[in-house]
Amino acid sequence: MHLLERIVVDPAVVHGRPVVRGTRMRVSDILALLASGASEQEIVEDYPYLTVEDVRACLEYASAQADHAILLAS
pLDDT at 4: 87
Q: Which of the four pLDDT bands, split at 50, 70 and 90, describes residue 1?
A: low
For the segment(s) 3-66, the CATH number from 1.25.60.10, 1.20.1260.10, 3.10.310.40, 1.10.10.10 is 1.10.10.10
pLDDT at 38: 98
The domain locations on the chain are 3-66
pLDDT at 26: 98
Q: pLDDT tens-digit profile of 56-73?
A: 999 999 998 888 777 888
Specify burial of residue 19 (Cβ count, 10 A radius: 0-12, 13-18, 19+): buried
Q: pLDDT tens-digit profile of 4-47?
A: 899 999 999 999 999 999 999 999 999 999 999 999 999 999 99
CB 57 within 8 Å of CB 6: yes
Angle at alpha carbon of residue 45, lines to 21 and 57, rounded to 5°: 35
